[in-house]
Amino acid sequence: MSRHHASSPLKRHQDRWGMIFVLPAILFFSLFSFYPIINALFTSLFRKKVLSLKPPTFIGLENYHYLLTSADFWNSIRATIVFTLGTFIPLLVASLILAVLITQMRRGQKFLQMAYYSPAVLSSVVAAAIWLLIFDPRGLANQWVNFVMNTPGVDHKWFADATMVQMATMLVYFWKYVGYFVIIFISGIASIPPTLYEAARIDGSSSWQSFWRITLPLLRPTVVLVSIMSMLQCLKTFSTQYLFTQSGAPQGPINVITMNIYNTGIRDQRIGRASAMSIILFAIMLFFTWLQFSTSKSDEVSY
């Protein structure tokens, strides 16, 4: 900031340009972020259908009341929570382990990072399409599982069974994002000063001890960040579930909130009810975002 200019007319002329430069963004965010979320909040209090000629009727909190007593909505909450927990915990653990192991390697670090990251380059729909074939009764998933568990010829019913189809969606997501989080963890590990490890080694600590006493505690901010980031992503999951159900997987077990919003609002055209769902999703994510900000603030470490 060029504060040394004092507030001359020239300076004011310049700053007017600064205000002009920010106008497009103000216009954009007002129209495409703030208006829609306020509109969703407002619409969630009405009974409204898209094509209906009747004006929307104000019904207060009835949409919320309906949702909170609807088995279908609770099923979506359950599906979303199961998916989120079942995905982000393995993601967190696996990517942390892989990142630590990679940083121990003397050669091939770059190659491994890039290789692990490569599924993240694919679009979610492509990832889901590949795994759709892998989960075929005669596909690779059965072949591998049967090989590892020595159970030749067993069909594990990846799509027919309610538990397995949930596992299938988690596996797709895990596969796609594990490398992404490996890279984030590696950049976190890289920021730990190597002198700490040297000091520990001189004091005679093993690399196992170094991991528990140095890496893990100092990586806490990254762990928190990765968990919240992956959690927020998982809560919004849509593509895999959508492609799977479109290709014949049962909808019930994997009917996550976003899919329910889409089906309620667009297919059934119940805009009011879909808006109420959107607001509930927003509230859940707001809570986790708040958690991310508050923890990352208290976690600023200096070495």
Helix (H, G, I), strand (E, B) or coil at 96: helix
State the minimum distance, in angstroms, from the CB of residue 117 to other proteins.
7
One residue of 52, 123, 163, 209 binding other proteins per CB under 8 A: 123
The residue within the footprint of other proteins, chosen from 56, 59, 136, 250 (CB under 8 A), is 136
* Binding positions for other proteins, 153-182, rule CB under 8 A: 175, 178-180
**Neighbouring C-alpha atoms within 13 Å toward the C-beta of 276:** 21
Give every CB contact of residue 99 below 8 A, 6+ residues apart in sequence: 181, 182, 183, 185, 186, 188, 189
151: contact with other proteins by CB under 8 A: no
- In angstroms, rounded to a whole number, what is the distance separating the alpha carbons of residues 142 and 153? 8
Residue 212 within binding range of other proteins, rule CB under 8 A? no
Is position 34 an interface residue for other proteins (rule: CB under 8 A)?
A: yes
Hey, is 46 helix, strand or coil?
A: strand
Least Å distance between CB 247 and other proteins?
5
Give dist(CA 2, CA 15) in Å, integer.
11
Of residues 54 through 83, those in contact with other proteins by CB under 8 A are: none
Helix (H) or strand (E) holding 44: none
Which of 7, 88, 48 is CA-nearest to residue 288?
Answer: 88
What is the DSSP secondary structure assignment for residue 160, as one 8-state letter? T
> Left (φ > 0), alpha (ψ -120 to 50) or beta: where does 277 sit?
alpha
| Cα gap 169→139, rounded to integer Å | 16
The region of 56-64, 75-83, 85-93, 132-140 touching other proteins under the rule CB under 8 A is 132-140
- Name which position in 66, 75, 90, 94 contacts other proteins (CB under 8 A): 94
* Interface of this chain with other proteins, residues 218 to 247, rule: CB under 8 A: 222, 225-226, 229, 232, 235-236, 238-239, 242-243, 246-247
Shortest Cβ 69–other proteins spacing (Å): 22
Contacting residue, 61, 89, 286, 301, with other proteins by CB under 8 A: 286
Residue 93 is a binding residue for other proteins (CB under 8 A): no
CB of 147 to other proteins, least distance (A): 9
